[in-house]
Every structure is written in structure tokens, then in C-alpha cells.
Amino acid sequence: MKTYIVGNWKMNFTVGESSLYFHKLLQRVKSYRDIEVVVAPSLVALQPLSLQVDRHKIKLAAQNAYFQDFGAYTGEVSVSQIRSLVDYCIIGHSERRHILGETNKDVRKKVAAAVRNGITPIICIGETAEERKNGETTDVIRDQLLSSLSEIAAEDLSKVIIAYEPVWAISTTKSAKMATPDDIKEVLDLIHKLLTKTYGEKTVADTPVLYGGSVKVSNAEAYLSIPGCDGLLIGGASLIAPEFSDIIEIAKQVRA
């Protein structure tokens, strides 16, 4: 299985800045057969970046999309409209869940739309600090994980990526706390256990599980060395070309 290094640019960079930064990344990033590098710029930058992209080095992802393929949905952009631009789509990011009110129902419909349109969904799941404090981590992870997959067939499980993204460990969260490898391993084990129990070991063998939450050059190796961690979903560090490219090189070293 490949190691995935995914950079989420969130609502940063203008279209021009995105193009210049992407050009820098393409110069720095090397092509590795066993490392899949993905970046998710803002929606307005996707089309121009799709003309610059070298898919041997970097693939593009959307940060979000609507689940209906077409219709009277003012202001929305469907998965089917972006399928010629991207290979991946981030779905259910904690900021969409907790700031923009996205529900488990919304997430599962978007996951089904992505798979239907041949785009790999990167499904984000994770508990808040309060949920963790109250011992609700297992329930939250189970509900978010299994709900997000409930509208796709078991044979399509290999077409999705799961990203564990504890809300309490995201750097933009107030009083964020750094997740330890033991913290992460506990939940990654839970995710693998839930998937195996529901779909069977053979079915889930090709389903990558990533970690995302305050990933930096300084902790990337420790996170990538966790058994069952197939890559990283990176926020702030993906906006700094030397840091992002260094994390890719770390991933290559860990994989070697």
C-alpha cells in the first residue's frame, strides 16, 4: 500500500498565489512510486492548477463538494463538476462539521457521490476534546466511520481513504493538545477493528488510514512510524514548501 501525504490548504492563497506556490512545490517534490502526494487548494484555484499539475509528482484534491450531481443548488459545486480536475476530495473535515454544521448524513451522501463519480473520498473522522474527556471517543468514531460508509457497497471500500483527525489536536483549535503516538495508535487500532468487524479482514486490507492533527516536520516521523498509519493529512505545514517537501522525504525514509 502507498503512503499518502495530503496537504489541505484550507482558505489560504489567492488564485495567483496558489499558482506560484504550486510551481514551487512541483520544483521541490520528487516522484516516488510508493508515496502519493496530494494537495487540496481552494475551489477557485483548482482549475488553473489542473493545467499546471504533474500527476507523476502531485495529485489534486477538492476540499469539499456537494452530493447532488446537478440541479438548482445555488452556490454549490458538485462532485461530478470537478471530476475532470481532481483525483481526491476531502469530506467531513472537522471544520466543516463543527463550524459549518455538516452532519453524518451529509458526509455519507458526499462519500457516495465521490465514489459514484470515480473520485477517492478522504473521509475525516475524529472526536472533540469534550467528547474525549467524557469517554465518548469510541462511540463518536464508530458513528462517524460507519455512517460515512453506509451508502457505498463493501466492494468499494478500497476506493476510500479514512483520516483520523482528532479535533482537540488541530493547531487552529483553542487550547489544542499535541496527540502522542500512543493516543493515535489507540484510535487507529479502533478504526481497523471496526472496519474488519463490519466488512471482513480481506475487504479492508486495501483501505488506507491516515492521521491528521498538527503534523509538522518535527513529529512526522513518529506519526508515520505508528503501526497502521498509512500517511498524513497536513494543514499549516502544507503551506510552507520546504516543510511539506521535507515531510514527503521523511515519509520516503520511513517507508524504506
Positions marked active-site: 93, 165
Alpha carbons within 13 angstroms on the beta-carbon side of residue 41 total: 27
DSSP for residue 13: -
Give, in order, the Cα–Cα distances in Å from 55 to each of 19, 52, 72, 189.
15, 9, 33, 32
- Rounded Cα distance, 44 and 82, in Å: 11
Decide: 81 and 113 in contact? Cβ < 8 Å.
no
Distance CA(55)–CA(31), nearest Å, equals: 9
Look at strands 231-234 and 120-125 and give their pairing: unpaired
Q: What is the rounded CA–CA span in Å between residue 118 and residue 114?
A: 6
User: How deeply is 99 buried, as exposed, middle or buried, from its count of CB atoms within 10 A (0-12, 13-18, 19+)?
Assistant: exposed
User: How would you classify the pairing of strands 59-62 and 88-91?
Assistant: parallel
